[in-house]
A = this chain, B = another copy of it.
Amino acid sequence: MAPQDALSDALSADMAAVNALIRARMASEHAPRIPEVTAHLVEAGGKRLRPLLTLAAARMLGYGGQDHVKLAATVEFIHTATLLHDDVVDESQRRRGRPTANLLWDNKSSVLVGDYLFARSFQLMVETGSLRVLDILANASATIAEGEVLQLTAAQDLKTDEAIYLQVIRGKTAALFAAATEVGGVIAGADERHVTALRDYGDALGIAFQIVDDMLDYGGSATVIGKNTGDDFRERKLTLPLIKAVARATAEERSFWTRVIEKGDQQEGDLAQAMAILARHDAISACRLDALGWAAKAKAAVNSLPEHPLRDILSRLADFVVSRVA
């Protein structure tokens, strides 16, 4: 069984409570547009990976209360809010196999319903009464937003290096993974070293996950990733495969990258040409090594925690994330 499914199974009662809470809190007595837009996205059957991470972290550290359900719903609301805003920013047309909310309704609704979900997540976390949890999620929110702006300004800029890329994907993915696992440990009252290990696990897992996603954009199949190969290329995003290829570029290749990425002058055959250059410099293989390195870090972190069946699933999850490109 895939580790995500194993997590879902092991945490099914908790997850049912999370889903009930999400449905209750996305309601709005006065503005029916809010639950319409939210339900469109929430019920499209996302993997619910982030709330599962929070629940797993809390349970494996022995938590017996119910506040982890609030935190798991919080994390999913933050994730949903960022997806709504991302789709506006990226002018996306499809998400989770459906037309995006900005397409079905309008950009206005996506912006404002995203704001509403962020406010709702904020109310939920305040209800836990833990200032430390609030501090973690406030910092994660700032990292997410800063990473998104950084991605916007780094796009089309060939000077974007691996350090900037790491900041972007921490904002885009890893910050919320790390906060999701960390708050699970905090609410469970875990030892500091265990809280740190949980945060490190989420951070490394998120980074591995995003590197793999960015690799698949230059070689995965549409069925695996649910989007078309070459999207990042067409949107002129400086993701890791491209950054590595640019760093190793010959003079001739450099003018190719300048034309297609910086100037955006893309012609028939340019994607194939880009992938040939990536192959010539082993850029994808280099990305794979990085992803495997982060997955190993994630496993080392989670394996430093006390023995628990959930711990073993989380460890397998780190392998699974990189198995898509292994």
Q: Which B residues are CB-close (under 8 A) to A32? A: 153
Count the A residues whose beta carbon is within 8 Å of the partner chain — how many? 42
- Chain A residues 93-133 with CB under 8 Å of chain B are 107-109, 111-113, 115-116, 118-120, 122-123, 126, 129, 131
Q: Are A142 and B123 in contact, CB atoms less than 8 angstroms apart?
A: yes
**Stretch touching chain B among A143-151, A190-198, A262-270:** A143-151
Distance between A164 CB and nearest chain B CB, rounded to angstroms: 7
Q: Are A115 and B145 in contact, CB atoms less than 8 angstroms apart?
A: yes
Copy count, this protein chain: 2
Q: Are B111 and A88 in contact, CB atoms less than 8 angstroms apart?
A: yes
Contact pick for A126, options B34, B138, B167, CB 8 Å: B138
A145-B116 contact given A30-B164, A33-B153, A131-B131, CB 8 Å threshold = yes
Distance between A176 CB and nearest chain B CB, rounded to angstroms: 12
- Chain A residues 68-92 with CB under 8 Å of chain B are 82, 85, 88-89
Contact pick for A139, options B109, B123, B134, B167, CB 8 Å: B123
Distance between A147 CB and nearest chain B CB, rounded to angstroms: 8
Q: Are A126 and B119 in contact, CB atoms less than 8 angstroms apart?
A: no
Q: Which B residues are CB-close (under 8 A) to A31? A: 146, 149-150, 153
- Chain A residues 136-170 with CB under 8 Å of chain B are 138-139, 141-142, 144-146, 148-150, 152-153, 164, 167
Q: Which B residues are CB-close (under 8 A) to A118? A: 115, 118, 141, 145
Q: Are A88 and B109 in contact, CB atoms less than 8 angstroms apart?
A: no
Contact pick for A129, options B109, B131, B142, CB 8 Å: B131
Distance between A140 CB and nearest chain B CB, rounded to angstroms: 8
Contact pick for A111, options B111, B126, B144, CB 8 Å: B111
A82, B122: Cα distance in complex, Å: 16
In the complex, the chain B residue whose C-beta lies closest to that of A124 is B138
Q: Does A135 contact B (CB under 8 A)?
A: yes
Q: Are A119 and B142 in contact, CB atoms less than 8 angstroms apart?
A: yes
Q: Are A109 and B152 in contact, CB atoms less than 8 angstroms apart?
A: yes
Q: Which B residues are CB-close (under 8 A) to A123? A: 135, 138-139, 141-142
Q: Does A12 contact B (CB under 8 A)?
A: no
Q: Does A273 contact B (CB under 8 A)?
A: no
A112-B85 contact given A118-B118, A145-B119, CB 8 Å threshold = yes
A112, B144: Cα distance in complex, Å: 10
- 10 A-B residue pairings within 8 Å (CB atoms): A28-B149, A30-B150, A32-B153, A34-B149, A109-B152, A116-B142, A116-B148, A119-B138, A123-B141, A134-B134
Q: Which residues of A contact B (CB under 8 A)?
A: 28, 30-34, 82, 85, 88-89, 107-109, 111-113, 115-116, 118-120, 122-123, 126, 129, 131, 134-135, 138-139, 141-142, 144-146, 148-150, 152-153, 164, 167
List 10 additional A-B contacts (Cβ < 8 Å) besides A34-B149, A112-B149, A126-B134. A28-B146, A30-B164, A30-B167, A82-B115, A85-B115, A88-B108, A89-B107, A108-B152, A109-B149, A113-B145
